[in-house]
Amino acid sequence: MNICSYNIVVLGRPKRKRLIRFNPEVTYFKPIGVPLRLLAEENLTLDELEAVRLADLEKSDQEAAAKKMNISRVTFLRIIHSAHQKIAKALIYGKALSLKGGEYIMPNLDGRGPSGRGDRRRGFMPGRGQGLGSSVDCVCPKCGEKASHTRGIPCFKTTCPKCGTPMAGFFCRP
């Protein structure tokens, strides 16, 4: 008896890339006083971080936030639910939280935007890297003073010229 086996691969439609407009300056959080080698890690993707920013900081409703990210409302709900679970696990169980990865498109600062013109690598922004941030201005959380953002130096490493407080990026205001 001859038995044939077939390897059938079912492919779904490709995942739609989410549109994000925020590049975090700080990309890692961990509990204080615990060596990193002893910690488990949760990874929050940048599209999940954008969903949290839109829903929790900007107080956008689900429909508006989904439109801003160029996804359906149901997909937005799945993303925000996943993000909240990961953040809760990191806080409750004392895990490190890294902010990286995901399926997203980020508008370039030169105005080309996510329309498909220019480099299409995931999250690629020419000349950008960890700690460079996406802020145009650094803002003092204490007195509100603004200073021009210096590329390559995170805002929190710059001090306010008026009061000496560490600055925050435009999107990082408390």
- Residue appearing with tokens 């953002």: 149
Structure tokens of 53? Answer: 């920013």
Domain ranges of the chain: 14-107, 131-174
CB atoms within 10 A of CB 139: 22
- Count CA atoms within 13 Å of residue 37 on its CB side: 0
pLDDT at residue 83, as a whole number: 97
**What is the end-to-end Cα distance of the chain in Å, rounded?**
72
Place of tokens 């954008």: 50
Residue holding tokens 């910690």? 39
Pairing between β-strand 146-148 and β-strand 137-139 as defined by DSSP bridges: antiparallel
Q: Which of 155, 148, 152 is nearest to 174 (CA)?
A: 155
Other beta carbons less than 10 A from residue 93's beta carbon = 11
**Which residue shows structure tokens 């920013």?**
53
User: What pLDDT shows up at residue 6?
Assistant: 62
Predicted confidence (pLDDT) at residue 138 exceeds the cutoff of 70: yes
pTM (two decimals): 0.60
Predicted confidence (pLDDT) at residue 106 exceeds the cutoff of 70: yes
Amino acid at 118: G
Q: Angle between the 73-93 and 62-69 helix axes, to the nearest 10 degrees?
A: 100
The per-residue pLDDT for range 46-104, each reduced to its tens digit, is 999 999 999 999 999 999 999 999 999 999 999 999 999 999 999 999 999 999 998 88
Q: Are strands 96-99 and 41-44 parallel, antiparallel or unpaired?
A: parallel
* Cα–Cα distance measured from residue 168 to residue 19, given in angstroms and rounded to the nearest whole number: 24
CA distances, 61 to each of 8, 55, 56, 70 (Å): 41, 7, 10, 14
